[in-house]
Amino acid sequence: MNAVDIMPGKAPLTLYGSAVGSRLLLGTAQYPSPQVLADAVRVSRTEIVTVSVRRESAGARSGERFWTLIRDLGVRVLPNTAGCRTPKEAITTARMARELFGTDWVKLEVIANDDTLQPDLFGLVEAARVLADDGFKVFPYTTEDLGAAERLVGAGCEVLMPWGSPIGTGRGLNNRYALRSLRSYFPGVPLIIDAGIGAPSHASEAMEMGYDAVLINTAVAKAGEPVRMAKAFAAAIEAGRTAFEAGLMEMRDMAEPSTPVAGTPFFDLGAKP
């Protein structure tokens, strides 16, 4: 294969031993119709979609139709414990998801606050430890807190999903310093930005920081044209990852001319020969 045939930014991401080609994960809630959801998944080229266990298990026949749709798309399901507020509730929901979807992958959410939907970090670590011991591959929805991240990794989590900002706010990366610190502190742990991404530029910035993937839901589902927005996010994530791999220039306090002037001759164009 010629070097020019190798697409930049296409090195696969490995999550719990599974290689994943796309670095975009999509949520499946709030789309205007099942067909729009299906089209968005296809154009995004995502390989993983998240599904709320509580919503789909309560949907009876509609849940069955939804599962058929997801299965036909050929993507991997990452069930989540959205809406759970205690470790016990999250553990029970995760076990239900394993039976319902036939996977030991679970996006673990334990919510502490109704207004911000901020994770309960103490409950999250407790639930993660129990689920990891039970054979689950846990993807914890957390904050950028380094202490919590250390405890989650110690509990058996091989992937971390820190928020960019509160769920559904579209504010992007609120605490860039802490997110950069988290990335530097855990160089070998896959980090996926989850929550708060509102624009493709936010996703690209996360990838330029060296984050491994981004999970998007509201910004695509609630867009004026969700399918086109899914395509835009896919392009932004690929661009951001390519830029990170290529090596971004360092910021400077002073200007640096692209054409050096030191040592070059100057001519008086008005002088007569």
pLDDT band at 8 (very low <50, low <70, confident <90, very high): very low
Q: Over the stretch 250-259, which tens digit does the pLDDT of each residue have? A: 888 888 777 6
Residue 266 CB neighbour total at 10 angstroms = 6
Q: How does residue 266 score in pLDDT terms, banded at 50, 70 and 90?
A: low
Residues present in the chain in total: 273
- The greatest distance separating any two alpha carbons of the chain, rounded to the nearest whole angstrom, comes to 93
* Cβ neighbours, 10 Å, residue 104: 15
- Burial profile 230-264: b = 16 or more Cβ within 10 angstroms, e = fewer: bbbbbebbbbbbbbbeeeeeeeeeeeeeeeeeeee
Confidence of residue 68 (pLDDT cuts 50, 70, 90): confident
> What is the pLDDT, as a whole number, of residue 234?
97
CA distance 139 to 112: 17
Which DSSP string corresponds to 105-149?
Answer: EEEE--B--TTT--B-HHHHHHHHHHHHHTT-EEEEEE-S-HHHH
Residue 232 near residue 201, CB atoms below 8 Å: no
Q: Among the options 10, 107, 231, 272, which is catalytic?
A: 107
| Cα separation, 271 vs 130, whole angstroms | 85
Taking Cα atoms as reference points, which of 126, 156, 151, 123 lies closest to residue 139? 156
> Hey, CA dihedral for 192, 151, 172, 220, is it positive or negative?
positive
User: How many CB atoms lie under 10 A from the CB of residue 223?
Assistant: 16
222 an active-site residue?
A: no
Helix (H) or strand (E) holding 15: strand 13-15
Taking 70 as the threshold, does the pLDDT of residue 264 lie above it?
A: no
Give CA separation, 5 vs 2, 27, 45, 63, in Å.
5, 31, 19, 42
Checking if the pLDDT of 129 tops 80, the result is yes
**Model-level pTM?**
0.86
The answer to whether 139 and 126 are in contact (CB under 8 A) is no
Residue 61: pLDDT over 60:
no
